[in-house]
Amino acid sequence: MYALETRNVTKTYTLEGQPINAVKEVSLAVKPGEFIALVGPSGSGKTTLLAILAALLAPSSGEVMIAGRDLAKLSEGQRVAFRREQIGFTFQANNLVPYLNALENVELMLRLNGKLDKAGRERAKEILTRLGLGNRLHNLPGQMSGGQQQRVAIARALIHNPAVVLADEPTASLDTERAFQVVETFSGLIHEQGRAGIMVTHDLRMVNFTDRVVMMRDGVIAATYETRAEIEALATRGHADEHTAPAPRPQPVGAFNLAAAAV
Amino acid sequence: MTGLSVSLHLATRELWRNRGRFLLFSMVIALITVLVLFIAALAEGLADANRQYLSKLDAQLMVLGDRADGILTASRIGRSRMAAVERVEGVAAAGAIGFSTANVIDPLPKTGSPLRVSLVGVEPGKPGEPPAIQGRGLSTIQAGEVVLDRAVLNQLQIAVGDTLTIQTTQGTQDQTYTLRVVGVSDNQAYLFQPTLFVPMFTWDRIRPKGEGESAASELTVGAIAVRIEDATQAEAVRARLLDSVSRVEVQTVKETYENLPGYSAQQSTLTTQSVFTLLIGVLVIGGFFQIQILQKVPQIGVLKAIGAANSTVGTAAVIQIVLVTAIGVALGSALTLLLSLGMPASVPVAFTGVGVATAIAALLLIGPIGGSVSVRYAIQIEPLRALGL
């Protein structure tokens, strides 16, 4: 039984009358307790795929099943409820609500789900303490380092026991040492709690902490690395943009206005 | 309920953690509140100073001379018409009222200059005579008596039983008359001036006159105030008065003071100022919250991406707008109260319950109206913005 499964997912946009596939025929399955990395050069479609998996964007065709539910069959209201119940999310930037302290940011997920009780509060404190933020519970995001903020975001992504945890470039604004710490912590918690984790990253060095690496290029899955040896070999290659060989593309995907085209 | 509690949590936390910025903005709303409340009070004060005497009349209708065009200050009507008016069915009582001005030269107010007053001649015991709140009313047989407006009493530092001297122009000569204060009326200003009430025959003797005017055979007054038996029958009595009494105009007391020269123009000017101040308030509040929302676009995107509903985000924005506006209006009202306590009596501001309540209700409404654009914008922000898409 997979926590997340996609079958032939395609997302097509129209630019100046020409259909462009941002994601094309992607089939992917992630088991509970499995942590995968989605890598690829800029414009390869990995963020679009992440948006589809997060129920933020509807695919043009194909099927997305998460926690046994077909996302295509959900109404807009149900998708919002689905995101807060079944998805944990960390983002590249503006991750935390700036006027809520670390503890309140983590509790927010429980609050949104109407499940903030005494036990929930204790669990939020516990997870933050475990992530080394026991003395930062009442600090606002602006009073914490980038690494600390990412750890708060990780705690927020896991506190409500979602089926799937998605991370969009979680190390983009961190130095190397903190980046490794954050991804190692993230990976440890995903494995320990049995969540399905998907991390989008440019930094191939981070894939060492994952169980599988899916390389995307021009909207399709170009390669999958599953064995330890393959993953470690990939990790030594460094940055995705530098070392993968993107095929020539007729149109820059980054120019599309995905928000406007969202269904 | 969960959505509302989340909205309340987000709204209040943001307000509290950025209290300096929001308080500053509440102060801007407070200043707008002070302005609106003072304009409303000034409008009320000016209107009151014009109509105080007329609005307190124990009468419903006013009979004016037929060439007055509804304007009391232009009206001349023979006192003998009073008997004809009183005979009309439905009329309970009628009283002639004469309007003119005089200077009180003794005693002098603190300013040292003669006090300019309205000199109003009334028929003792008839509509037009103000009730005395101290001392007694005017006598029908005694001349040289005066009932004073309380404001005059205070300005001249005199009491019931004292005398005062007024000066008026008779032909080409200034004449002085000494009157004895027998009673005090509530504030009864007419055309911005405090008022001295004297019996009609005294009024006719001492009022300013042009050369030869004193020889006039009939006493001419300004208007006749009419108290009717059944206040709901005002229209019917008005029609009967017009039928039965020749060469007169009849209007309600309210119409009479609204027709006073400049009254309506002044009121509409001040109302326009109030409306424009409120409009400026709408724009200021709208602009502030729009900038706030524009700064928070990625943050709102994240909130929506992690599962906050549009209604949760929109309600949080509305709660903030309402709270910031309410705090601003409360601060502004308190500031207005303090300022009004230190306001000199010569400034015609009058804070009435209805006027203040209307202004405050309008001010509380401008927050949501001004902020509605930003709330709409917040609702429309796509959760995809969290991913930079």
Look at A54 and B305 and tell me if their CB atoms are within 8 Å.
Answer: yes
Nearest by Cα to A135 from A102, A175, A172: A102
Task: Supply the ipTM of this predicted assembly.
Answer: 0.85
Mean per-residue pLDDT, B359-371: 89
A24 at interface of B, judged by CB pairs closer than 8 A: no
Q: Nearest CA of chain B to the CA of A194: how many Å?
A: 20
Place of tokens 């050069």: A41
**Chain B residue numbers touching A47 (CB-CB < 8 A):** 387-389
Look at A111 and B382 and tell me if their CB atoms are within 8 Å.
Answer: no
The predicted-structure confidence for A74-128, as pLDDT tens digits, reads as follows 999 999 999 999 999 998 877 899 999 999 999 999 999 999 999 999 999 999 9
Q: Nearest CA of chain B to the CA of A134: how many Å?
A: 21
DSSP bridge pairs for B251: B62
Tell whether the model's pLDDT for residue A248 goes beyond 80: no
- Nearest-5° Cα angle at B33, B27 to B37: 150
Host H or E run for residue A145: none
Residue A96 and residue A93: Cα distance in Å, rounded? 8
- Which chain A residue is nearest to residue B313, measuring alpha carbons? A112
Contact B184, B148 (CB under 8 A): yes
The predicted-structure confidence for B47-86, as pLDDT tens digits, reads as follows 888 888 999 999 999 999 998 888 998 999 998 888 999 9
- pLDDT tier, B272 (very low <50, low <70, confident <90, very high otherwise): very high
Residue A146 and residue A141: Cα distance in Å, rounded? 9
For residue A96, give every residue at least 6 positions away whose Cβ sits within 8 Å of its Cβ, in sequence order, or none. A102, A105, A141, A149, A152, A153, A156
Look at A109 and B307 and tell me if their CB atoms are within 8 Å.
Answer: yes
Residues for chain A: how many in total? 263
Residue B365 and residue B273: Cα distance in Å, rounded? 17
Q: How far is CA B81 from CA B84, B85, B231, B248, in A?
A: 5, 6, 22, 9
State residue A178's pLDDT score.
83
**Chain B residue numbers touching A254 (CB-CB < 8 A):** none
Residue A1 and residue B124: Cα distance in Å, rounded? 103
Amino acid letter at B282?
A: V
Tell whether the model's pLDDT for residue A252 goes beyond 70: no
State residue A241's pLDDT score.
54
DSSP bridge pairs for A216: A221
For residue B42, give every residue at least 6 positions away whose Cβ sits within 8 Å of its Cβ, in sequence order, or none. B270, B348, B349
| Own/partner pairs, B256-260, CB within 8 angstroms, 24+ separation | B256/B54, B256/B62, B256/B64, B256/B70, B256/B72, B256/B223, B257/B50, B257/B51, B257/B54, B257/B55, B257/B72, B259/B70, B259/B71, B259/B72, B260/B50, B260/B51, B260/B71, B260/B72, B260/B73, B260/B191
| Nearest CB to A83 within list B13, B18, B306 | B306
CA end-to-end span of chain A: 29
Tell whether the model's pLDDT for residue A258 goes beyond 90: no
Looking at every residue in chain B, the average pLDDT score rounds to 90
DSSP bridge pairs for A11: A23
- Which chain B residue is nearest to residue A113, measuring alpha carbons? B2
Mean per-residue pLDDT, B77-104: 92
SS3 state at A147: helix
- Nearest-5° Cα angle at B153, B39 to B172: 95
State residue A176's pLDDT score.
87
A233 at interface of B, judged by CB pairs closer than 8 A: no
Contact B248, B63 (CB under 8 A): yes
Look at B388 and A95 and tell me if their CB atoms are within 8 Å.
Answer: no
Q: Nearest CA of chain A to the CA of B22: how many Å?
A: 13
B349 at interface of A, judged by CB pairs closer than 8 A: no
A51 at interface of B, judged by CB pairs closer than 8 A: yes
B19 at interface of A, judged by CB pairs closer than 8 A: no
Answer with the residue of higher pLDDT: B2 or B109: B109
Look at A262 and B306 and tell me if their CB atoms are within 8 Å.
Answer: no
Q: What is the 3-state secondary structure (H, E, C) of chain B?
A: CHHHHHHHHHHHHHHHHCHHHHHHHHHHHHHHHHHHHHHHHHHHHHHHHHHHHHHCCCCCEEEEECCCCCCHHHCCEECCHHHHHHHCCCEEEEEEEEEEEEEEEECCCCCCCCEEEEEEEECCCCCCCCCEEEECCCCCCCCCEEEEEHHHHHHHCCCCCCEEEEEEEECCEEEEEEEEEEEEECCCCECCECEEEEEHHHHHHHCCECCCHHHCCCCEECEEEEEECCHHHHHHHHHHHHHHCCCEEEEEHHHHHHCCCCHHHHHHHHHHHHHHHHHHHHHHHHHHHHHHHHHCHHHHHHHHHCCCCHHHHHHHHHHHHHHHHHHHHHHHHHHHHHHHHCCCCCCCCCCCHHHHHHHHHHHHHHHHHHHHHHHHHHHHCCHHHHHCC
Tell whether the model's pLDDT for residue A218 goes beyond 80: yes
DSSP bridge pairs for A220: A217
Look at B387 and A47 and tell me if their CB atoms are within 8 Å.
Answer: yes
Place of tokens 């060492």: A208
Contact A101, A135 (CB under 8 A): no
- pLDDT tier, A257 (very low <50, low <70, confident <90, very high otherwise): very low
Q: Nearest CA of chain A to the CA of B323: how many Å?
A: 17
Looking at every residue in chain A, the average pLDDT score rounds to 87
- pLDDT tier, B217 (very low <50, low <70, confident <90, very high otherwise): low
- Nearest-5° Cα angle at B239, B236 to B241: 110
Beta strands at B145-149 and B173-185: parallel, antiparallel or unpaired: parallel
pLDDT over 90 percentage in chain A: 70
SS3 helix, strand, coil % of chain A, rounded to 5?
A: 40, 25, 35
Mean per-residue pLDDT, B313-332: 94
DSSP state of A133: -
Q: Nearest CA of chain B to the CA of A92: how many Å?
A: 8
Tell me which of A210-224, B327-341, B347-361 is least confident: B347-361
Host H or E run for residue A84: helix A76-86
Look at B2 and A56 and tell me if their CB atoms are within 8 Å.
Answer: no
Residue A182 and residue A170: Cα distance in Å, rounded? 8
Look at A56 and B6 and tell me if their CB atoms are within 8 Å.
Answer: no
